[in-house]
């Protein structure tokens, strides 16, 4: 049995573990990486792109080095498969994403808008103040859509391409973008490298995710994806959000607030505004896309 085949088995097993267990509740490796990244940031931070490049390079390179070591110490096929499965489980976030979406759905279904606003930062950086139930619902659906690519499909694809180093380096890039990839006075320059790396790492996965949404739902998603996918200011998020909008028959996009900064994004889709019930539909679609990605990787590899 070839090493590449075992790696594919490990990826699929890791996806199964994530489906049943979700994120590790204690000693989460991604949380540990975040703490290390915070320490490195304090050591090298300056309002400079070059300092940001050093910050990203050290951390992403370090994650890759750990991956290479894990590859070398797990030479036996079964050990390599199990190691790949463990790393895949650690870096995937699809099940926890779905669970958080369902928590938001339940809170909104019982009419507790204030609790929903307080919990929204678990999913996205959008300012929840002033959002009504429809606004929170749209934010959750958009976050579930975008993170289906970031938390599920992209790690699986990078694992299929580059094994354990690919899994760890992708998660490092995505985590750094979440930490410093903001357009605000502190990170406009320092976070530039992390944000650009994240755009590059997600370019193919976002389009694969859009295609999988179409495969799981049908022609409505394809039509909206082709027409509206490039309208979004993000080169990647728009593809996934447009596909979800078409698949769910809703309209995404509009005015968003981020820490006092207001963005007016073009609308995607032809349907109604998202409602609370659409959150559950988005979570089910996200799970189907993740399953499809794992299945395709398992078959092709």
Average of per-residue pLDDT values in the chain: 93
Percentage, residues of the chain above pLDDT 90: 81
Does the pLDDT at position 47 exceed 80? yes
Does the pLDDT at position 289 exceed 50? yes
pLDDT digits (tens, 9 = 90+) for 90-122: 999 999 999 999 999 999 999 999 999 999 998
pLDDT score for 23? 85
The answer to whether 247 and 216 are in contact (CB under 8 A) is yes
pLDDT digits (tens, 9 = 90+) for 120-163: 998 988 888 889 999 999 999 999 999 999 999 999 999 999 99
The answer to whether 11 and 88 are in contact (CB under 8 A) is yes
Tell me the average pLDDT across 66-73: 94
In sequence order, what DSSP letters do the residues of 89-124 get, joined into one string?
HHH--HHHHHHHHHHHHHHHHTT-HHHHHHHGGGT-
Percentage, residues of the chain above pLDDT 70: 97
Mapped onto helix, strand or coil, the DSSP state of residue 272 is strand
Tell me the average pLDDT across 14-36: 90
pLDDT score for 301? 67
Q: Residue 104: CB partners within 8 Å, gap ≥ 6? A: 116, 119, 120, 123, 136, 140, 279
Give the residues across from 257 on adjacent strands.
Answer: 262
Cα–Cα distance, 18 to 27 (Å, whole number):
16
Question: Among positive and negative, which fits the CA dihedral 270, 272, 274, 279?
Answer: negative
260: confidence class by pLDDT, cuts 50, 70, 90 = low
Does the pLDDT at position 26 exceed 80? no
Tell me the average pLDDT across 263-268: 87
pLDDT score for 4? 42
Cα–Cα distance, 125 to 114 (Å, whole number):
17
Chain mean position to CA 281: 18
Cα–Cα distance, 152 to 58 (Å, whole number):
25
């Amino acid at each position: 049995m070839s090493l590449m085949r075992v790696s594919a088995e490990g990826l699929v097993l890791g996806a199964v573990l994530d489906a049943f267990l979700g994120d590790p509740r204690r000693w989460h490796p991604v949380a540990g990486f975040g703490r290390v990244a915070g320490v490195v940031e304090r050591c090298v931070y300056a309002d400079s792109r070059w300092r940001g490049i050093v910050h990203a390079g050290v951390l992403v390179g370090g994650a890759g080095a750990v991956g290479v070591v894990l590859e070398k110490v797990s030479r036996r096929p079964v050990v390599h498969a199990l190691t790949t499965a463990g790393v895949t489980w650690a870096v995937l976030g699809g099940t926890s994403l779905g669970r958080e979406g369902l928590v938001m759905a339940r809170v909104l279904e019982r009419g507790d808008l204030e609790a929903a606003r307080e919990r929204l930062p678990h999913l996205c950086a959008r300012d929840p103040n002033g959002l009504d139930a429809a606004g929170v619902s749209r934010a959750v659906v958009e976050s579930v859509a975008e993170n289906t690519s970031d938390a599920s499909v992209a790690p699986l694809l990078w694992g299929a391409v580059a094994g354990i180093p690919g899994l760890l380096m992708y998660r490092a890039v995505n985590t750094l973008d979440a930490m410093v990839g903001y357009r605000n006075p502190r990170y406009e320059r320092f976070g530039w490298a992390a944000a650009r790396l994240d755009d590059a790492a997600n370019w193919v996965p976002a389009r694969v995710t859009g295609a999988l949404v179409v495969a799981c739902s049908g022609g409505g998603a394809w039509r909206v994806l082709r027409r509206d996918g490039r309208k979004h200011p993000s080169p990647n998020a728009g593809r996934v959000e447009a596909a979800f909008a078409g698949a769910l028959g809703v309209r995404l996009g509009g005015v968003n607030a981020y820490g006092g900064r207001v963005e007016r994004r073009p609308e995607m889709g032809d349907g109604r505004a998202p409602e609370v019930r659409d959150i559950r539909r988005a979570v089910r679609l996200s799970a189907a896309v993740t399953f499809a990605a794992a299945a395709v990787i398992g078959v092709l590899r």
